[in-house]
Amino acid sequence: MGYKQHSCGFRFANIDLDRKSRRGHSEAIYCPGKTREQLKSIAGQLLKNKQDLLFTKLEKDNFNYLKKPFPKLKYNALAKIGYLVTKTKIEKKGLVAVVSAGTSDIPVAEEAALTLELMGNRVVKFYDVGVAGVHRVMNNIDTIRKAKVIIVVAGMEGALASIVSGLVSSPVIAVPTSCGYGANFGGLSALLTMLNSCSAGVTVVNIDNGFGAGYFASLVNK
């Protein structure tokens, strides 16, 4: 198609510098499996090319290391996100609801919510409203129904996504989490429940992938 990608390569990484022009957001840096030096090098090249920084699954000790060369870097310990972005303009239209089944699911929900906020979305949160007390969802359903897109984060059996989807007209992005006892299989049971949802309008991201859910919801919202 004649498209030439503008990228910056190391021996260990090939940075996509055109992603912001294509998608509206710079390439995020997934931290597990990368050394501190690799994280530092990738971030340095992104900043050199006037890109934003968004580190996902960033541990606190690695943030402390990165804070020295990048003193303006900020950190959300609950979401495990490090970020350095130009001032974000929050869009007035298009509310996104982030709904968490349990308190233990909040870190993944916060990863989704912060990703959305950094990408300029209005976000409303409803935490610990899972199926063990479904009245908690019903108490907030009027506000949830106002959202253009809804993210539902749940571990255990992951049933909350189907329940919410059956009550709203907006698309639902389901995020299974690794929260649960042994037969949860590290989030696999929640993932399978969400994939097998009988409620039309549910799409599913990978286990504990709050960033992916937030990113996709932002694209839908825009």
For every residue of 14-28, DSSP letters joined together read EEETTHHHHHSSPPP
pLDDT computed for residue 190 by the predictor:
93
Question: Do 19 and 47 share a domain, yes or no?
Answer: yes
Q: Which of 84, 116, 146 is the last residue of a domain?
A: 84
Does residue 152 surpass a pLDDT of 90? yes
pTM to 2 decimal places: 0.87
**Which has the closest alpha carbon to 55: 111, 125, 120?**
111
Question: Do 101 and 184 share a domain, yes or no?
Answer: yes
Number of separate domains in the chain: 2
pLDDT computed for residue 7 by the predictor:
52
The angle subtended at Cα 66 by Cα 72 and Cα 60, nearest 5°, is: 100
pLDDT computed for residue 42 by the predictor:
86
- Of the ranges 2-11, 67-76, 117-126, which one carries the lowest mean pLDDT score? 2-11
Within-domain flag for 89: no
Question: Do 74 and 129 share a domain, yes or no?
Answer: no
Question: Do 136 and 195 share a domain, yes or no?
Answer: yes
Question: Do 100 and 200 share a domain, yes or no?
Answer: yes
Within-domain flag for 206: yes
Task: Name 93's Cβ contacts closer than 8 Å, sequence gap at least 6.
Answer: none
Query: Could you tell me the two tokens for 33?
Result: 């499996």
Average confidence score pLDDT of the chain: 88
| CATH code at position 110 | 3.40.50.1970
Question: Do 174 and 76 share a domain, yes or no?
Answer: no
What percent of the chain shows pLDDT beyond 90? 58
Strands of the chain, DSSP E = 7-9, 14-16, 29-30, 53-56, 74-76, 81-84, 95-100, 122-126, 149-154, 172-176, 202-204
Question: Do 17 and 127 share a domain, yes or no?
Answer: no
pLDDT category of residue 29 using cuts at 50, 70 and 90? confident
Query: Could you tell me the two tokens for 156?
Result: 């255990």
**Which has the closest alpha carbon to 123: 105, 102, 150?**
150
Query: Could you tell me the two tokens for 59?
Result: 């541990």
For every residue of 163-191, DSSP letters joined together read HHHTT-SS-EEEEE-S-S-GGGGGGHHHH
Within-domain flag for 90: no
pLDDT computed for residue 2 by the predictor:
47
Contact between residue 160 and residue 137 where contact means Cβ atoms under 8 Å apart: yes
Which domain range does residue 21 map to? Answer: 7-84
- Looking at the DSSP assignment, which residues form a beta bridge with residue 174? 152, 204
